């Protein structure tokens, strides 16, 4: 998504270029920049007249959700889903917002899926001031994340329901993916909840009571998702332990079978080795039934040993 801006007046909202919007005199201006390069820094500093320390916060490379009051303005950093493919360790894209009375500037390097909902609200006239826009950002991001968190829980439910010794390796891979993704989401959702709660409590004149109520609802939704992600992480760890135990039991069972087979053939090996010595004096060596007799004796010994292990319930 490219950079854009909106001019909001009582008669409606109009989409403009950022440079054109920044020179407008109206009730509310929203400028969204889809980049964080040197050109963006220069525009923020020279055209938008944003203080240097705010420019650095808006264009920083590594960020986490936070909220700070600076004079009569507020800086807010939020994380939401992106339309581009993200890494497992960093699954959410950031949007940085600087808001003062009558003007909001947002910066995002990657396109957010929630931005379309915010744009739709601006164009339909729902958003009239900075408080409305920030509350809509917080609500749109948390609502967009809610199904993702629910899907992680459903995926883990399916793994628990399909627990099977024949699918250990496949289930382990699926559980690991769910656990890594939940940790990545929770890494940002916990501080995001704190940032939204802090914003709702700031003594800023342009933040109305209704805006604070919507921010509190978004913070509550973020808190619920963070708790759900913590539950998913703990359940994933337990599921991984269960799969490890199941694999260990499987190995023990196979080792037991190998041991029993070795116990059956140990006396047979001794007997056939003893009778197979190339020396004089082996009993019944010249008898025609000697081979059949040895076979039947070995069969009887094997059957007796097998019966012993079965009666001792070694194969349960």
Instruction: Encode the chain (316 residues) as per-residue pLDDT tens digits.
Output: 578 889 888 888 888 888 888 877 778 899 999 876 778 888 888 888 888 888 888 888 778 899 999 888 999 999 999 888 777 778 888 899 999 988 999 998 888 899 999 999 999 888 888 999 999 999 999 999 999 899 988 888 888 888 777 788 888 888 888 888 888 888 898 899 999 999 999 999 889 999 999 999 999 999 999 999 999 888 888 888 888 888 888 888 888 888 888 888 888 888 888 777 777 777 777 778 888 888 898 889 888 888 888 887 776 6
pLDDT at position 167: 80
Label the pairing between strands 66-70 and 73-80: antiparallel
Distance CA 102, CA 269 (A): 94
Beta strands across the sheet bearing 93-100? 12-16, 4-9, 28-33, 103-107, 93-100, 73-80, 66-70
pLDDT at position 1: 52
* DSSP helix/strand/coil, 204: coil
pLDDT at position 315: 65
pLDDT at position 50: 87
User: Which residues pair with residue 13 across a beta bridge?
Assistant: 8
Q: Which tokens is 247 given? A: 């694999």
Distance CA 103, CA 126 (A): 16
Distance CA 100, CA 74 (A): 7
Distance CA 139, CA 196 (A): 10
Q: Nearest CA to 182 among 249, 231, 132?
A: 231
- Side-chain-facing half-sphere of 21: CA atoms under 13 Å: 26
pLDDT at position 12: 83
- Side-chain-facing half-sphere of 173: CA atoms under 13 Å: 3
Residues 6+ apart with CB under 8 A from 54: 44, 70, 73, 75, 98
Q: What pTM, to 2 d.p., does this model score?
A: 0.76
Q: Which tokens is 81 given? A: 């889903």
Distance CA 35, CA 142 (A): 23
pLDDT at position 220: 93
Q: Give the start-to-end residue ranges of the domains of the chain.
A: 4-246, 250-311
CATH domain 4-246 topology: Beta Polymerase; domain 2 (3.30.460)
Residue in the structure block whose two tokens are 């399916």? 158
Distance CA 57, CA 60 (A): 5
Instruction: Give me Rg for the CA atoms of the chain.
Output: 35
């Amino acid at each position: 998504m490219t950079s854009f801006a909106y001019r909001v007046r009582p008669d409606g909202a109009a989409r403009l270029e950022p440079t054109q919007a920044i020179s407008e005199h109206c009730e509310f201006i929203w400028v969204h920049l889809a980049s964080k390069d040197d050109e963006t820094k220069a525009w923020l500093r020279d055209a938008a007249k944003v203080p240097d320390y705010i420019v650095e916060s808006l264009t920083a490379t590594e960020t986490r959700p936070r909220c700070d009051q600076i004079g009569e303005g507020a800086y807010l950093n939020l994380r939401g889903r992106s339309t581009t493919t993200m890494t497992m360790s960093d699954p959410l894209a950031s949007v940085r917002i600087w808001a003062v009375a009558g003007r909001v500037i947002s910066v995002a390097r990657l396109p957010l899926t929630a931005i379309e909902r915010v744009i739709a609200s601006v164009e339909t006239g729902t958003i009239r001031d900075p408080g409305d826009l920030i509350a809509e950002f917080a609500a749109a991001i948390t609502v967009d994340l809610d199904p993702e968190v629910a899907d992680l829980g459903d995926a883990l439910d399916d793994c628990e329901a399909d627990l099977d010794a024949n699918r250990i390796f496949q289930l382990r891979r699926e559980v690991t993916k769910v656990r890594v993704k939940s940790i990545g989401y929770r890494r940002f959702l916990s501080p995001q909840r704190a940032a939204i709660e802090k914003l709702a409590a700031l003594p800023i004149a342009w933040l109305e009571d209704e805006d604070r109520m919507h921010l509190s609802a978004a913070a509550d939704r973020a808190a619920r998702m963070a708790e759900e992600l913590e539950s998913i992480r703990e359940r994933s760890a337990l599921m991984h332990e269960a799969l490890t135990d199941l694999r260990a039991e499987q190995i023990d069972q196979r080792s037991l079978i190998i041991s029993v087979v070795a116990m059956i053939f140990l006396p047979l090996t001794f007997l056939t080795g003893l009778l197979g010595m190339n020396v004089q004096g082996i009993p019944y060596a010249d008898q025609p039934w000697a081979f059949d007799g040895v076979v039947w004796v070995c069969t009887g010994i094997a059957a007796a040993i097998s019966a012993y292990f079965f009666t001792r319930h070694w194969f349960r």
